Protein backbone atom coordinates (compact mmCIF):
# COMPACT_ATOMS: atom_id res chain seq x y z
CA UNK A 1 0.00 0.00 0.00
CA UNK A 2 1.35 3.41 -0.99
CA UNK A 3 0.60 6.20 1.47
CA UNK A 4 0.40 9.28 -0.75
CA UNK A 5 -0.65 11.86 1.82
CA UNK A 6 2.36 13.95 2.83
CA UNK A 7 3.09 16.15 5.81
CA UNK A 8 2.98 19.80 4.79
CA UNK A 9 5.50 22.52 5.63
CA UNK A 10 8.39 20.11 6.31
CA UNK A 11 10.67 23.00 7.22
CA UNK A 12 8.48 24.11 10.12
CA UNK A 13 10.00 23.52 13.54
CA UNK A 14 8.17 20.92 15.59
CA UNK A 15 9.41 21.59 19.16
CA UNK A 16 7.49 18.62 20.57
CA UNK A 17 9.42 16.15 18.41
CA UNK A 18 12.68 16.38 20.31
CA UNK A 19 14.12 13.04 19.12
CA UNK A 20 14.17 14.48 15.59
CA UNK A 21 15.18 18.06 16.40
CA UNK A 22 17.79 17.16 19.06
CA UNK A 23 18.79 13.52 18.56
CA UNK A 24 21.82 13.78 20.87
CA UNK A 25 19.97 15.41 23.78
CA UNK A 26 19.29 13.85 27.18
CA UNK A 27 15.61 13.58 26.27
CA UNK A 28 16.34 11.66 23.07
CA UNK A 29 18.59 9.25 24.93
CA UNK A 30 15.83 8.64 27.47
CA UNK A 31 13.41 7.79 24.66
CA UNK A 32 15.89 5.28 23.25
CA UNK A 33 16.14 3.74 26.70
CA UNK A 34 12.35 3.65 26.90
CA UNK A 35 12.21 1.88 23.53
CA UNK A 36 14.73 -0.74 24.68
CA UNK A 37 12.88 -1.38 27.95
CA UNK A 38 9.57 -1.82 26.14
CA UNK A 39 11.15 -4.30 23.75
CA UNK A 40 12.61 -6.32 26.61
CA UNK A 41 9.31 -6.31 28.49
CA UNK A 42 7.68 -8.18 25.59
CA UNK A 43 10.66 -10.27 24.49
CA UNK A 44 8.65 -13.52 24.30
CA UNK A 45 5.55 -11.96 22.72
CA UNK A 46 4.73 -9.98 19.62
CA UNK A 47 4.27 -6.30 20.36
CA UNK A 48 2.47 -4.53 17.53
CA UNK A 49 -0.03 -2.24 19.26
CA UNK A 50 0.50 0.13 22.21
CA UNK A 51 -1.89 2.49 23.99
CA UNK A 52 -0.39 5.57 25.68
CA UNK A 53 -2.54 7.18 28.37
CA UNK A 54 -2.36 9.04 31.68
CA UNK A 55 -4.50 9.59 34.77
CA UNK A 56 -5.29 13.25 34.15
CA UNK A 57 -4.95 15.86 31.37
CA UNK A 58 -1.72 17.78 30.72
CA UNK A 59 0.57 14.85 31.53
CA UNK A 60 2.45 15.15 28.23
CA UNK A 61 1.16 11.83 26.88
CA UNK A 62 0.82 13.07 23.29
CA UNK A 63 4.41 14.34 23.25
CA UNK A 64 5.56 11.00 24.68
CA UNK A 65 3.52 9.14 22.03
CA UNK A 66 4.99 11.17 19.18
CA UNK A 67 8.60 10.89 20.32
CA UNK A 68 8.26 7.19 21.10
CA UNK A 69 6.85 6.55 17.63
CA UNK A 70 9.72 8.48 16.03
CA UNK A 71 12.23 6.56 18.14
CA UNK A 72 10.86 3.18 17.08
CA UNK A 73 10.86 4.23 13.42
CA UNK A 74 14.63 4.77 13.69
CA UNK A 75 15.04 0.98 13.81
CA UNK A 76 13.90 0.65 10.19
CA UNK A 77 10.38 -0.09 11.33
CA UNK A 78 7.18 1.19 9.77
CA UNK A 79 5.45 2.91 12.68
CA UNK A 80 1.95 4.40 12.67
CA UNK A 81 1.06 7.00 15.30
CA UNK A 82 -2.73 7.18 15.72
CA UNK A 83 -4.50 10.06 17.42
CA UNK A 84 -7.25 8.07 19.15
CA UNK A 85 -8.08 10.96 21.46
CA UNK A 86 -11.39 11.68 19.77
CA UNK A 87 -12.26 14.38 22.32
CA UNK A 88 -9.21 16.65 22.41
CA UNK A 89 -6.85 15.61 19.58
CA UNK A 90 -3.28 16.89 19.57
CA UNK A 91 -1.16 14.90 17.11
CA UNK A 92 -2.11 17.05 14.11
CA UNK A 93 -0.82 20.09 16.00
CA UNK A 94 2.53 18.45 16.75
CA UNK A 95 3.04 17.53 13.09
CA UNK A 96 1.26 20.60 11.68
CA UNK A 97 -1.15 18.79 9.37
CA UNK A 98 -4.85 19.14 8.64
CA UNK A 99 -7.31 17.16 10.74
CA UNK A 100 -10.29 17.05 8.42
CA UNK A 101 -10.16 13.29 7.81
CA UNK A 102 -8.70 10.64 10.08
CA UNK A 103 -9.63 7.81 12.42
CA UNK A 104 -13.29 8.84 12.72
CA UNK A 105 -13.52 8.84 8.93
CA UNK A 106 -12.37 5.22 8.83
CA UNK A 107 -14.76 4.30 11.64
CA UNK A 108 -17.85 5.88 10.09
CA UNK A 109 -17.22 5.47 6.34
CA UNK A 110 -16.29 2.00 5.10
CA UNK A 111 -15.55 3.38 1.63
CA UNK A 112 -12.54 5.27 3.01
CA UNK A 113 -9.24 3.44 2.60
CA UNK A 114 -6.40 3.56 5.09
CA UNK A 115 -3.95 5.02 2.57
CA UNK A 116 -6.33 7.92 1.92
CA UNK A 117 -6.10 9.28 5.47
CA UNK A 118 -2.60 8.33 6.67
CA UNK A 119 0.13 10.99 6.44
CA UNK A 120 3.72 10.19 5.57
CA UNK A 121 6.18 12.34 7.55
CA UNK A 122 9.68 13.66 6.95
CA UNK A 123 10.93 11.04 9.42
CA UNK A 124 11.70 7.82 7.53
CA UNK A 125 9.32 5.04 8.55
CA UNK A 126 7.03 7.27 10.62
CA UNK A 127 3.40 7.71 9.59
CA UNK A 128 0.51 9.45 11.36
CA UNK A 129 -3.25 9.09 11.41
CA UNK A 130 -5.02 12.11 12.88
CA UNK A 131 -8.30 11.84 14.80
CA UNK A 132 -10.53 13.37 12.17
CA UNK A 133 -13.75 15.13 13.13
CA UNK A 134 -14.70 14.90 16.81
CA UNK A 135 -17.69 12.52 17.07
CA UNK A 136 -20.53 12.60 19.62
CA UNK A 137 -19.84 8.99 20.69
CA UNK A 138 -16.07 8.33 20.91
CA UNK A 139 -16.21 5.37 23.32
CA UNK A 140 -18.82 3.57 21.22
CA UNK A 141 -16.78 4.02 18.05
CA UNK A 142 -13.58 2.79 19.68
CA UNK A 143 -15.39 -0.21 21.14
CA UNK A 144 -16.99 -1.22 17.86
CA UNK A 145 -16.23 -4.23 15.67
CA UNK A 146 -15.19 -1.75 13.00
CA UNK A 147 -12.33 -0.58 15.25
CA UNK A 148 -11.06 -4.15 15.51
CA UNK A 149 -11.14 -4.43 11.72
CA UNK A 150 -9.15 -1.22 11.37
CA UNK A 151 -6.54 -2.39 13.90
CA UNK A 152 -6.14 -5.64 11.96
CA UNK A 153 -5.66 -3.72 8.71
CA UNK A 154 -3.09 -1.46 10.35
CA UNK A 155 -1.16 -4.49 11.57
CA UNK A 156 -0.95 -5.75 7.98
CA UNK A 157 0.96 -2.64 6.88
CA UNK A 158 2.86 -1.45 9.94
CA UNK A 159 5.35 -3.04 12.33
CA UNK A 160 4.09 -1.00 15.28
CA UNK A 161 0.97 1.09 15.96
CA UNK A 162 0.89 3.57 18.85
CA UNK A 163 -2.48 4.95 19.96
CA UNK A 164 -2.52 8.27 21.80
CA UNK A 165 -5.55 8.11 24.12
CA UNK A 166 -7.45 10.48 26.46
CA UNK A 167 -6.71 10.37 30.20
CA UNK A 168 -8.14 7.23 31.77
CA UNK A 169 -9.91 8.92 34.69
CA UNK A 170 -11.75 11.38 32.46
CA UNK A 171 -13.52 8.96 30.09
CA UNK A 172 -13.67 5.23 29.31
CA UNK A 173 -11.92 5.47 25.91
CA UNK A 174 -8.49 4.38 27.15
CA UNK A 175 -9.98 1.39 28.97
CA UNK A 176 -11.82 0.35 25.83
CA UNK A 177 -8.69 0.47 23.69
CA UNK A 178 -6.37 -1.00 26.34
CA UNK A 179 -8.40 -4.21 26.14
CA UNK A 180 -7.76 -4.45 22.39
CA UNK A 181 -4.00 -3.87 22.17
CA UNK A 182 -0.81 -5.72 23.10
CA UNK A 183 0.38 -3.27 25.74
CA UNK A 184 -0.39 -0.05 27.60
CA UNK A 185 2.04 2.66 28.66
CA UNK A 186 1.10 5.04 31.46
CA UNK A 187 2.49 8.61 31.58
CA UNK A 188 2.91 10.24 35.00
CA UNK A 189 4.03 13.90 35.28
CA UNK A 190 6.37 14.28 38.24
CA UNK A 191 4.73 16.01 41.18
CA UNK A 192 1.43 16.67 39.39
CA UNK A 193 -0.64 13.52 39.87
CA UNK A 194 -1.61 12.23 43.31
CA UNK A 195 -0.77 8.64 44.18
CA UNK A 196 -4.41 7.67 44.76
CA UNK A 197 -5.30 8.76 41.23
CA UNK A 198 -2.45 6.71 39.81
CA UNK A 199 -3.61 3.64 41.75
CA UNK A 200 -7.21 4.21 40.65
CA UNK A 201 -6.05 4.39 37.02
CA UNK A 202 -4.11 1.15 37.47
CA UNK A 203 -7.24 -0.53 38.87
CA UNK A 204 -9.30 0.61 35.90
CA UNK A 205 -6.75 -0.87 33.49
CA UNK A 206 -6.64 -4.14 35.43
CA UNK A 207 -10.43 -4.42 35.23
CA UNK A 208 -10.18 -4.76 31.44
CA UNK A 209 -7.17 -7.09 31.68
CA UNK A 210 -4.87 -4.51 30.11
CA UNK A 211 -1.24 -5.50 29.74
CA UNK A 212 0.44 -2.55 31.48
CA UNK A 213 4.01 -2.44 30.19
CA UNK A 214 5.05 0.19 32.69
CA UNK A 215 5.04 3.92 33.28
CA UNK A 216 6.91 6.97 32.06
CA UNK A 217 7.79 9.54 34.72
CA UNK A 218 7.59 12.75 32.77
CA UNK A 219 8.90 16.27 33.41
CA UNK A 220 11.80 15.41 35.66
CA UNK A 221 14.33 18.23 35.38
CA UNK A 222 18.02 17.51 34.97
CA UNK A 223 20.51 20.13 33.76
CA UNK A 224 17.55 22.31 32.74
CA UNK A 225 16.34 19.66 30.29
CA UNK A 226 13.04 17.85 30.46
CA UNK A 227 13.55 14.12 30.30
CA UNK A 228 11.66 10.89 30.76
CA UNK A 229 12.19 7.91 33.00
CA UNK A 230 10.62 4.50 32.48
CA UNK A 231 9.86 1.82 34.99
CA UNK A 232 8.17 -1.50 34.27
CA UNK A 233 5.73 -3.59 36.19
pLDDT confidence of residue 75: 83
Higher-pLDDT residue of 226 and 80 is: 80
Is residue 11 a part of any domain in this protein? no
Residues paired with 23 in a beta bridge: none
Is residue 45 a part of any domain in this protein? yes
pLDDT confidence of residue 91: 95
Is residue 15 a part of any domain in this protein? no
Is residue 9 a part of any domain in this protein? no
Q: Is 165 exposed, middle or buried (0-12, 13-18, 19+ CB in 10 A)?
A: buried
Is residue 147 a part of any domain in this protein? yes
pLDDT at residue 12 tops 90: no
Is residue 191 a part of any domain in this protein? yes
183-189 vs 160-164, strand pairing mode: unpaired
Over residues 139-159, the pLDDT tens digits come to: 999 999 999 999 999 999 999
The stretch 113-119 carries a mean pLDDT of 95
pLDDT confidence of residue 9: 53
pLDDT confidence of residue 3: 64
pLDDT at residue 2 tops 60: no
pLDDT confidence of residue 88: 94
| Domain enclosing residue 137, as ranges | 20-232
* Number of compact structural domains in the chain: 1
pLDDT confidence of residue 1: 59
Is residue 152 a part of any domain in this protein? yes
Residues paired with 226 in a beta bridge: 221
pLDDT confidence of residue 224: 40
The stretch 147-176 carries a mean pLDDT of 95
pLDDT at residue 227 tops 60: no
160-164 vs 49-54, strand pairing mode: parallel
CATH of residue 97: 3.40.50.300
pLDDT confidence of residue 52: 96
The edge-to-edge listing of strands for the beta sheet with 119-120 is: 5-6, 119-120, 126-129, 79-83, 160-164, 49-54, 183-189, 212-222, 225-232
The stretch 11-36 carries a mean pLDDT of 79
pLDDT confidence of residue 58: 84
SS3 for 178?
helix
Is residue 6 a part of any domain in this protein? no
pLDDT confidence of residue 11: 45
Amino acid sequence: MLFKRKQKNPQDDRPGLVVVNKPTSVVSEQFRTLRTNIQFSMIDDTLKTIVVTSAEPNAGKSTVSANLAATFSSQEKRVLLVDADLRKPTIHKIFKVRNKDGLTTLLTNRDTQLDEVVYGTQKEGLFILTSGAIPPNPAELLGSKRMLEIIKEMEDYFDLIIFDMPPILAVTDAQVMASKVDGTLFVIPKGSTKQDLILKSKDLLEKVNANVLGAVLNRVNKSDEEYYYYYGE
